[in-house]
Amino acid sequence: MIEFADVHVRLGERDVLRGVTATLAERRVGVVGANGSGKSTLARLINGLALPTSGTVTVLGMDTRRHAARIRRGVGFLFTDPDAQIVMPTVAEDVAFSLRRHRLPRAEVERRVAEVLARYGLSGHADHPAHHLSGGQKQLLALCSVMVLEPQVLVMDEPTTLLDLRHSRQVAELLREMPQQVVVVTHDLPLLAGFDRVLVLDEGRVVADGPPEESLARYRKLMA
C-alpha cells in the first residue's frame, strides 16, 4: 500500500508536484504524463529517493521521511538507464551484490542468483561482462538485481524507453507475471494494457485517475 497525502515537491523555483493525494493499493498501477509533469519525482517519492517538501508519503505503513532505508528493503526500483544501475563487472556478481547486506551463506547466494537469472533468461550470461550485454539484456540484468531481493513493491521509471520492441514485449510479459505490486511510470502506453489503474499527471497535479481506458483517453486529449 502506497499513500500520498497532499504531497508537494518544490525543486529550486519550480513546483514539481502540487498537492498529490492518492492511495495506491492495486497490483498494477501506471503513471503517465508529459515530460516534466512530475511523474518520475512521484516514482522516486515511493522509496524515499526524493522527499516531499510538504505532505507525507507512506509506503508499507512507514513514512518515507523517517524510514527511507527500511522502505528501500521492501521497494525495488528500476531506472530507465540500466548502465547506471549495474555496479559489478559481471552479470552474476551484480545480482549477488544485491544480496550482500543479507549475509547469506555462499551456496544460498549462488542458488538465488542462478534462480533469478534463469527466470529472466540470463543463465547463459552469468559470467559475462555486464557491459557486453545488449541494452535489453542490461535492463533484464537490472531487473534481476532488483527481483533477487524479492521486494514487496516494484517501481519502474520508464523501463522500456531504451528497449526495442521485442524486449519491451518481454518486459510487459514479465510485468504481468510478477506477484508484487508494481508501479510503472511510462510513455509506452501499450505497456499499461491490463493494468488496474492509471494516473495522469499534468504540471504536478493528478488530472485523471481510473481504469487505463478512461485515463489514457484523457491523456491523449491532453496531448492533442
Partner 1 sequence: MTGATGLTGAYVPRSSPLHRLPAGAKLAGLAAACTALVLLGSPLALGGAAAGTAALYALARVGPAAAWAQVRPVRWFAAALFALQWLLVGLEGAAVVTLRVVLAVALAGLVTITTRTSEMMAALERLMAPARLAGLDPFRLSLLLSLTIRTVPVLTTLAGRVRDAQRARGVERSLRAFAVPLVVGALRHADALGEALSARGLDD
Q: Which residue's CB is nearer to partner 1, number 36 or number 211? A: 36
Q: Which residue's CB is nearer to partner 1, number 85 or number 186? A: 85
Q: How far apart are CA 167 and CA 181, in angstroms?
A: 21
Select the span of 72-80, 114-122, 176-184, 206-214 touching partner 1 (CB under 8 A).
72-80
Q: What is the DSSP letter of 69?
A: H
166 binds partner 1, rule: CB under 8 A: no
199 binds partner 1, rule: CB under 8 A: no
Map residue 50 onto helix, strand or coil. Answer: coil
Nearest distance, CB of residue 45 and partner 1, angstroms: 13
Contacts of 46 (CB under 8 A, 6+ apart): 2, 57, 59, 64, 75, 77, 153, 155, 183
Query: Helices (DSSP H) in the chain: which residue ranges?
Result: 39-46, 64-74, 91-98, 106-119, 135-147, 165-177, 212-223
Site string for partner 1, 35-54 (x = CB under 8 A): ------------x-x-----
Cell 547506471, residue located: 84
Q: How far apart are CA 41 and CA 54, in angstroms?
A: 14
Q: How far apart are CA 2 and CA 46, in angstroms?
A: 7
Q: Which residue's CB is nearer to partner 1, number 159 or number 212? A: 159
**CA gyration radius, the chain:** 18
Q: Which residue's CB is nearer to partner 1, number 77 or number 120? A: 77
Nearest distance, CB of residue 180 and partner 1, angstroms: 15
Q: Which residue's CB is nearer to partner 1, number 95 or number 208? A: 95
Contacts of 187 (CB under 8 A, 6+ apart): 32, 158, 161
Nearest distance, CB of residue 13 and partner 1, angstroms: 20
Select the span of 26-34, 90-98, 160-168, 208-216 touching partner 1 (CB under 8 A).
90-98
Q: What is the DSSP letter of 90?
A: B
96 binds partner 1, rule: CB under 8 A: yes
Q: Which residue's CB is nearer to partner 1, number 27 or number 131? A: 131
Within 103-132, the residues that bind partner 1 by CB under 8 A are 127-132
Report the interface residues with partner 1, using CB under 8 A: 47, 49, 69, 72-73, 76-77, 79, 81, 83-90, 93, 96-98, 101, 127-132, 145-146
